[in-house]
Amino acid sequence: MGSIMRIIEPKHFEALPRIKHKRHYRRYIVLLLIMGIIIGLGWVGYHRYNQPLPAYTITPGKELSTGPEVKFAWPTYGQSAVGIVGKGVIDSNNSDEPQPTASVAKIITALVVQDKEPLALNQDGDDIPITKADQQIYDKYYLVNGSIVPVLPGTTLTQKQLMQAMLIPSANNMAETLTNYTFGSQEEYVSYANNYLKENGFVKTTVADSSGFSPDTVSTAAELVRIGELAMNDPVIAQIVGQSQAVIPNGGTVTSTNWLLNKDGVNGIKTGNTNQAGGCYLVSAVVTHPDNTKSTVIAVIMGAKTVDQAITDIQPLVFVQAKSGFNDVAVLSEGQQLGVIATAWGEKAAITSASDLSLFGWQEDRPQYTLDVTDVTQVERTVDGQVIGSAKVTLGQSSDTVAVKQTGTINPPDFWWKFKRIFNS
């Protein structure tokens, strides 16, 4: 059988190079794509590897310590408490059980009247008619030897004059006349006053009358200090209790029972005395410190034998012991830790005070501070001892800044930490 000859036409010879050319062209495209991807990934990886470091974390340290405790030598009788305006009650003695307040309660009366019918500074308020009922109130207190100022039915007294007669010579009858006019009756006053006390957080203070003559009008030394601060924040009450004298129509010139007034910075506030309450004294005094700053101390003694004893015994509490509690307080020492610097790659260093710092203030206050640390985000290595910012420290009304430094060296991140960032970013 003869062989068969395969004939290849010329056009087939021309197609072969074209086929090979297309295959090479596709390979080139794939190769270029692969190279582009490699270059792109390399570029991304390079920039991720060398991207700016994350910000350091600055964590403040623990609270600063207070100074030594202020010790008070309390009277051995009754209750006592001392406070500082802006700080509240700083210490008290036997100040748990409510006991009679005597005429110190008239400060509550003044606050409640101001709440119901507020009298503005240098205003006289309503003209209040004096009636036979007011004469009977006068006679009632006269018979029990209570504090009184004469009244004349058919005349009028202003709200301010009644407040002056109530607070300066401590007239019981004027307290009732004022509250009867303002509230309609003693019952209405008592209801309003006890609601007022409750709303203002005085849970151990109860009033049974407006004069404080009743032994059922009670409070504690700690709450009376807070009540005293509230009263001294009222400009009308503060002005009246700061007066040593006033002229009351038909009553003549009346004199304050607070004989310490206007001595050694005393600017108020109220005395009280009954058989059940004993001698009580609530005082406000502006104390001047060596740096010429001032603080207002409010203190109270309840249950003394006499008012004079209470006034005498309160003076060392205010002018010696409370005043001595204001001092130059060592708030920072050099090297004291104020915070921590931490990096994302695990390095840490302490933030410490570069020097000692003292501030003048109440030594039992806790100093507060804020850190202002230089932005070291872009720095790979920071060294031990370099100053990195400052801290502002405050103690009461005093403040100052101190430089802070880094204690401990922060080393740069290693290769592997940076390499891992390429895949974690």
Per the prediction, the chain carries an average pLDDT of 89
Residue 3 within any structural domain of the chain: no
Higher pLDDT, residue 355 or 376: 355
Residue 312 within any structural domain of the chain: yes
Give the pLDDT band of residue 425 (cuts 50, 70, 90): low
Q: Are residues 312 and 339 in the same domain?
A: no
The answer to whether 168 and 243 are in contact (CB under 8 A) is: yes
Does the pLDDT at position 416 exceed 60? yes
Q: Are residues 268 and 128 in the same domain?
A: yes
Q: Are residues 39 and 113 in the same domain?
A: no
pLDDT, residue 40, reads 61
Q: Which residues pair with 270 in a beta bridge?
A: 282
20's tokens: 């090979």
> What's the CA gap between 117 and 109, in Å, rounded?
12
The amino acid present at 334, given as its one-letter code, is E
Q: Are residues 213 and 341 in the same domain?
A: no
Q: Are residues 125 and 255 in the same domain?
A: yes
Residue 33 within any structural domain of the chain: yes
pLDDT, residue 257, reads 94
Number of domains in the chain: 3
Q: Are residues 101 and 167 in the same domain?
A: yes
Last residue of a domain, one of 296, 324, 352: 324
Q: Are residues 88 and 181 in the same domain?
A: yes
The answer to whether 165 and 174 are in contact (CB under 8 A) is: yes
The answer to whether 224 and 246 are in contact (CB under 8 A) is: no
Give the pLDDT band of residue 232 (cuts 50, 70, 90): very high
CATH number at residue 270: 3.40.710.10
Q: What is the pLDDT of residues 244-296, one digit of tens each?
A: 999 999 999 999 999 999 999 999 999 999 999 999 999 999 999 888 889 99
Residue 398 within any structural domain of the chain: yes
Q: What is the pLDDT of residues 301-352, one digit of tens each?
A: 999 999 999 999 999 999 999 999 999 999 999 999 999 988 888 888 999 9
> What's the CA gap between 142 and 77, in Å, rounded?
30
> What's the CA gap between 235 and 241, in Å, rounded?
10
Q: Are residues 94 and 131 in the same domain?
A: yes
To the question of pTM greater than 0.85 for the whole model, the response is no
pLDDT, residue 104, reads 98
Residue 193 within any structural domain of the chain: yes
Look-up of token digits 């308020």:
125
Look-up of token digits 């290849």:
8
Burial of residue 317, with CB atoms counted within 10 A of its CB: 0-12 exposed, 13-18 middle, 19 or more buried:
buried
Q: Are residues 336 and 295 in the same domain?
A: no
Instruction: Label residue 152 left, alpha or beta by phi (over 0 means left) and psi (-120 to 50 means alpha).
Output: beta
Give the pLDDT band of residue 10 (cuts 50, 70, 90): low
Chain centre distance of CA 381: 41
Q: Are residues 165 and 225 in the same domain?
A: yes
Residue 1 within any structural domain of the chain: no
> What's the CA gap between 43 and 316, in Å, rounded?
79
Higher pLDDT, residue 164 or 348: 164
Residue 70 within any structural domain of the chain: no
Residue 71 within any structural domain of the chain: no
> What's the CA gap between 161 and 172, in Å, rounded?
14
Instruction: Label residue 190 left, alpha or beta by phi (over 0 means left) and psi (-120 to 50 means alpha).
Output: alpha
Q: Are residues 131 and 225 in the same domain?
A: yes
Residue 330 three-state SS: strand
Q: Are residues 236 and 378 in the same domain?
A: no
Give residue 99's domain range: 79-324
